Structure 1
Amino acid sequence: MAGSANTQTQKDDKAHVWLKPDQVKQMRDATVAQSVDYLAGRNDALIALLYDTGLRVGEAVAVDIEMLDLDEGVLMLPAEIQKDYPNDNSPQYTEIELADETIRTLRQYLNTRWKDSDALFPSRQSDRMTTESVRNVIRDAAEDAEIRPYTVKGRGSPDQVTPHVLRHSVAYRMLNREEGNTLYDVTKRLRHATILTTERVYSHFDRV
């Protein structure tokens, strides 16, 4: 019985919903078209950064502008804003290399940002977005673009698209759309505690 429960847990850990690159582009186009003008750049940059780096939503809202070095093309992620693992694999300071397109998007956003705050992503009401407000941006973009994500059971609906789905989509892109990546590369990009986590969650993305 215990073995069956363990098998079920591992099955449930798998990424059940993900997007392909063209769907993320459709979401970005939709958020620019449908957002209030002064929020369009922020929302586009938010989606671009999440899809490039695989940040968790709690990490994304904690990013400050000073953590970006766009000349070097990196996001400097301090340990204290990363998910904490209660073991010897606790996160360390990490530099995440940014794609050229993400750098361009962030530069454009920062050059036209309507609010001066330390946080990279402020909200209308405060100097920093909440995790819920980020989820709302992602959901609205998916609904506006009429995205039907891919799932282990077929095609899904827009309301299934969340920030964590973008994180899963990074793994899908790396393993199926970019040459030469392995599960180990995904482990490093997503900052998993061990490669066992990556194998458990994304082994079905690794084509045979």
Structure 2
Amino acid sequence: MKPFLVRLDAYLTQLTQQGKSPHTLDAYRRDLIELANMLPENQQPTRNDVVRVLKQLSQRGQHPRSLARKLTSWRQYAEYLVHLGELSSNPIAHIKAPKPPERLPKAIDREQINQMIDQDIPQSDDVLAIRDHAMIELFYGSGLRLAELHALNVDDVLLDAGWVMVSGKGKRQRQVPLTRPSIAAIDAYLSTRYAVDGELALFTSRHGTRLCTRQIAKRLEIWSQNNQANQHISPHMLRHSYASHLLQASRDVRAVQELLGHQNLSTTQIYAKLDFDHLAQVYDDTHPRAKRKK
């Protein structure tokens, strides 16, 4: 038996006594045997050995989440061997799991989202619907994060200039252009906005206080249900759709990076595969809602 597996049965017995399920025990056994079979003959693993095995498994196409699970199994067993004196130290203790690719929501079809917004222009006496319409236009029209929209104050919106001042991650400030539909929707909302004395928030509840992020997300969920959306629509999905549609049209990743408030260019590039041979003016000529008339 390979030196690394000498205590395997005793280890699995201990896990059984701890109440681990048979499925979990089978997974631990498979992961540990797999590692042992890829180690040099008759040797306990070194850190370099484990790193090499991880690379080999990654090259065979194993998903980062699977590799992270295996690494956890190996680390815990190695710690058990250290406790028994079989290993002087845990060679796996400080090895970081491979980072899984960021999962992004699927972008909403451009025609679908435009049709939903256009068909949902509220009546003048529906105050909450007017507010929600302005929020949705701003989410999709300017690609704001949920926390950014929540933090907006009335003075941050410059309708005449066509800009909104946004405080992003790390309190970094940026100017983001407003589309004509966003300007019209916010203007209509401001004439109905109710706020208690001293409340600076742009978007307020029926009680006149700043809407919290949970309320904003809930109102978007209700809006998507009322418009019979065929998928769950979240604030991040609208932001992702904004980024994807704008990148597909403009192909100017650096300009879109600034609009989104991304510190690193690589964060913006994950939204779309770009053809860098073609660059275009980004906003007025390409935004999917910029050319729509008021």
TM-score after normalising by structure 2: 0.55
How many percent identity over aligned positions?
Answer: 27
Paired residue secondary structure (1:118): coil
Q: Which residue of 1 aligns with 2:272?
A: 203
Determine if the alignment matches structure 1 residue 21 to structure 2 residue 110.
Answer: yes
Match of 1:56 in 2: 145
Identify the structure with bigger relative contact order (alpha carbons < 8 Å, sequence gap 6+). 1
Deviations 1:14-52 (A, max 9, x none): 423221333333443565559x81111100000000111
Say how many residue pairs are matched: 183
* Cα contact 1:27–1:144 (8 A) shared by 2: no
1:70 and 2:159 are equivalent in the alignment: yes
Listed one character per residue, the Cα deviations across residues 156-201 of structure 1 (whole Å, up to 9, x for unaligned) are x2xx31001000011122023x3x33222221111111111112x3
Alpha carbons of structure 1 residues 7 and 173: separation in structure 2 relative to 1, 3 Å: farther
The answer to whether the 8 Å contact 2:150/2:203 transfers is yes
The whole-number CA distance in structure 1 between the counterparts of 2:208 and 2:191 is 20
**Structure 1 residue 55, shift from structure 2 partner:** 1.0
Q: Within 1, Cα distance between the matches of 2:201 and 2:179?
A: 21
Is 2:178 the counterpart of 1:98?
yes
Alignment of 1:120 with 2:202, yes or no, is yes
Partner of 2:236: 164
Does 1:190 find its partner at 2:270? no
Answer whether contact 2:244 2:272 (CA < 8 A) is retained: no
**In the alignment, residue 202 of structure 1 is paired with which amino acid?**
Y
In structure 1, distance between residues paired with 2:147 and 2:173 = 16
5+ residue gaps in structure 1? 85-90, 149-156
* Deviation sequence 1:79-111 (CA, Å, 0-9, x none): xxx212xxxxxx532111111221111111112
CA contact (8 A) 1:28 1:141 kept: no
2:225 and 2:210 map into 1 onto residues whose CA distance is 24
Query: Of the candidates 211, 214, 219, which is equivalent to residue 129 of structure 1?
Result: 211
C-alpha contact 2:137 2:182 (8 A) present in aligned 1:
yes
Contact 1:31 1:144 in 2 (8 A): no
Residues 119-141 of structure 1: CA deviation (Å, up to 9, x unaligned): 11001245111111111111111
Provide the rounded CA distance (Å) in 2 between the counterparts of 1:124 and 1:111.
14
Q: 1:162 is aligned with what amino acid? A: S
State the Cα RMSD in Å: 2.7
Contact 1:138 1:162 in 2 (8 A): yes
Which residue pairs with 1:83 in the alignment?
Answer: 169
